[in-house]
Structure 1
């Protein structure tokens, strides 16, 4: 089963430490060089699916500046799913790169 680009980057953002929603949004933006920008509603929809699928879980809650922050962390299953997705994407990229190289060589001889 593949994961969406948004879910891929949320999982990646959670690899090194638990993060709260705003921290995830910032980390995803940084990791994707600004290509993926999560809105709050989208983020929590992705997080809900990841939690339901057992790929992420609630870590803790804290009050900061009078607001509740809920932290999420990656589960072992989530770490494995992310590793599988990395391998899948790398294999797809190799296929496309090989095809493009073949096409480029064929175009050069025409």
Structure 2
């Protein structure tokens, strides 16, 4: 999973529109990751096609996105993978100093 996709799904702990997702990702990463509209909407479309998110509502030009059960399952698996990666990196960190 790309970092962009990971943070988009991570930001959807509650339904949100595109700009809200962009701001939440910036907050989560302390400004390190700034998503452009082309990047976020392309990724949201792919995630919607893959069944990881759904359009919750469409109010006055603001499309609200919500994570699905599949999206939550994908995030649980990805978080587990990242925990393993982190544990392994820490165990061998001294080898690279």
Query: TM-score, normalization: structure 1?
Result: 0.83
| Mapped pair 1:9 → 2:7 | yes
Distance in 2 of aligned mates of 1:54 and 1:84? 16
Bigger Cα Rg: 1
Which one of the candidate residues 44, 52, 60 is aligned to 1:47?
Answer: 44
Distance in 2 of aligned mates of 1:57 and 1:32? 24
- The unaligned stretches of length 5 or more in structure 1 are none
| Cα displacement (A) at 1:61 | 0.8
| Cα displacement (A) at 1:100 | 1.3
1:33 is matched with 30
The number of aligned residues is 97
What CA deviation, in whole Å up to 9, does each residue of 1:37-95 have, x standing for no partner? 100011101101111111111000111xxxx1000000000011011101101101111
Aligned to 1:33, the other structure's residue is in SS state: coil
- The unaligned stretches of length 5 or more in structure 2 are none
| Cα displacement (A) at 1:34 | 1.2
